[in-house]
Amino acid sequence: MHDKIPLSESRINIDLNTSFSSIDTGMVEKFEKSLEEYYGHQKSILALNSGTSAIHLALILCGVEEGDEVLCQSLTYVATINPIIYQKGSPVFIDSEKDTWNMCPIQLELAIQDRILKGKKPKAIILVHLYGMPAKIDEIVCIARKYNIMLIEDAAEALGAEYKGKKCGSFGDFAILSFNNNKIVTTLGGGALICNTKAEKEKAFFYATQAKEKESHYEHKEIGYNYRMNAAGALIGLSQLKKLKEYLQKRRAINDFYKDYFKEFSGVCFLKETSLNVTSNHWLSCFYFDNRVVDADKYELMEFFKKNRIEVRFLWKPMHLQPVFNDFPYYGDKIAESLFLNGLCLPSGSNLIKNDLKRISESIKKFL
């Protein structure tokens, strides 16, 4: 029997002889400095225990409170949305556009105008770079500034992606990264909040470490959280960051392989860069079937892959279609829904070898 081919995996090699104090924060601070160096020392970055924690802190720093509305794209992972609920806010879901599959700027502005007419000007926008593909950043940043709305950039899936030569995570009032187990760089669970100023980072640190006041005793005037990254995760992250360039090259080569292989199959449409301004990290290589051209069932294909021990995944189910979010407004058509109904993510891990890609391609050929 063949070994299972995972969807997205990174091989971790660490020096188990490395020792450090369980209460020393030096390793975490070193990881933060490495991230700040990666962003050209233009940002202040706080290492946390998850990307979800980072979004939550960003919302707090944006002043999102009970009853406030936050605009966010519908086609995303639920972790983008849950922190809005933590703050007792209300998500307002926006459809995707066809080029990048990310938030549609046209629907975004229509939503803002309609919410303002209803007396509910949104407090923040959460922009996602889905599967590592940069969104239409210029348009969305322009809209956020036009209406004076804070912009949070969810770059959880987009470390290493760039827009006009500038790294994703550089464009918002705040941005976040994820170092979850399946990301290009992992800390075996972790994330980061990207701030524009040191003061913002210090305020985020205050909330991430239980909101302890600067007193000799334990004094608390606000609710805080246990969101800090641990030293072991930071140690892994330092090792992983050194290999980011290598990992990016491998993910992009895998994506090139898939696009080239699928050329012979009509009706198979890949998520790809549509402009020279955009450089995806291709965290996951994704496609959808154009059902006007090809009669294929993604559920049958997924089951076929499963029997061949190849892990594939459905595209995210849009948040406005999730039962838990039924009562929140949605602006758009059915682009996100159509992508979900017809799309799949293929194995894209940095550890894939030629034999893995051969197995995957042969399986696809048998099915189609």
Q: What pLDDT sits at residue 60?
A: 98
In this prediction, residue 296 carries a pLDDT of 74
108, 71 Cβ separation under 8 angstroms:
yes
Q: Measured between alpha carbons, how far is residue 363 from residues 81, 286, 308, 367 in Å? A: 36, 16, 8, 6
Residue 266: predicted pLDDT: 84
pLDDT at 366: 83
Dihedral of the CA atoms 38, 150, 192, 284 (nearest 10)?
A: -80
Q: What is the pLDDT of residue 202?
A: 98
- CATH number of this structure's domain 244-367: 3.90.1150.10
Q: What CA–CA distances, in Å, run from 98 to 10, 125, 331? A: 30, 20, 15
Token digits of residue 266: 């009509």
Regions of the chain short of the pLDDT cut 50? none
The model's pTM is 0.95
3-state secondary structure of 76: coil
> Would you list the DSSP string of 137-161?
HHHHHHHHHHTT-EEEEE-TT-TT-
Q: pLDDT (tens digit, 9 = 90+) per residue, 285-342?
A: 999 988 777 777 788 888 889 999 999 999 999 999 999 999 999 999 999 999 999 9
Catalytic residue annotation: 183
Cβ-based neighbours of 332, under 8 Å, separated by 6 or more: 74, 93, 94, 95, 96, 104, 107
Helical ranges in 189-315 per DSSP H: 198-208, 231-241, 244-261, 298-307
Q: Where are the domains of the chain?
A: 26-241, 244-367
Structure-token match 């190849």, residue found: 310
pLDDT of residue 133: 98
Give me the architecture of the 26-241 domain, per CATH.
3-Layer(aba) Sandwich (3.40)
